[in-house]
Amino acid sequence: MSLDVDLDTLHRTWWVRTFRLAAAALGLAALITLPVNAVDKNGSFDFGNYFSYFTVLSNVLAVAVLLVGALAVPSASWFTWLRGLATTCMVVTAVVYAMLLRNIDVQLNTQWINDVMHRYLPLIMVIDWIVLSARNLPARSWISWLTAPLVYGVYSLIRGPIVDWYPYPFIDPRSQGYGSMVVSLIIVFAGMIAMSAGVAWLGTRTLGRPKPTDPVETPTA
């Protein structure tokens, strides 16, 4: 049986689909609970700012990918690419939070919600990506995945002066100035390049099996 057939079968097993569905439900609960609690407590909630956090957008994408993977189980290359994009965004979310934002108020003040968005769901996405390794991943996908943080950065810098609000300190020029901000963003983006390449490697490694391009040895008489 070929590796492709094994992976197709694995993606459709009940335990994989249940795992993805449960993870999606957990992420969705976290995404919904915070604004619901805020509206209940304060009577209002700034959805514009909420959906301008990279963390929130990444979790929305991860939940959508998990739901599609659980219910439809597509095997097309576009879905493999999308899984990689979601995994990359969630790895970026977890690493940037751990290194730069742990002591910063990012409006996720409920501990379990913060843990789900910054720790548990990123870990789940990485596990899913490693165990159910990428099928038909387009070449150099890790480069195209980087368009997500680039587009997000441009969006944040355009929206920031308009609403006088920035989601994260390292992308806020008001206190540090544009020169310092640019240096910070270059360093952060360099880390994102490494993370994106790492996700691609994790998803396409062969786990000791022969690569498709490796020659197949035939026994000699």
CA distance 2 to 212: 10
Q: What is the pLDDT of residues 86-120, one digit of tens each?
A: 999 999 999 999 999 887 877 777 889 999 999 99
DSSP single-letter state for residue 120: I
Q: Using alpha carbons, select from 78, 63, 79, 81 the residue that is nearest to residue 20.
A: 63
13-49: per-residue pLDDT in tens?
A: 888 999 999 999 999 999 999 999 888 888 888 999 9
166-196 pLDDT, tens digit per residue, is 999 999 999 899 999 999 999 999 999 999 9
pLDDT at 204: 86
Structure confidence at residue 156 as a pLDDT band (50, 70, 90): very high
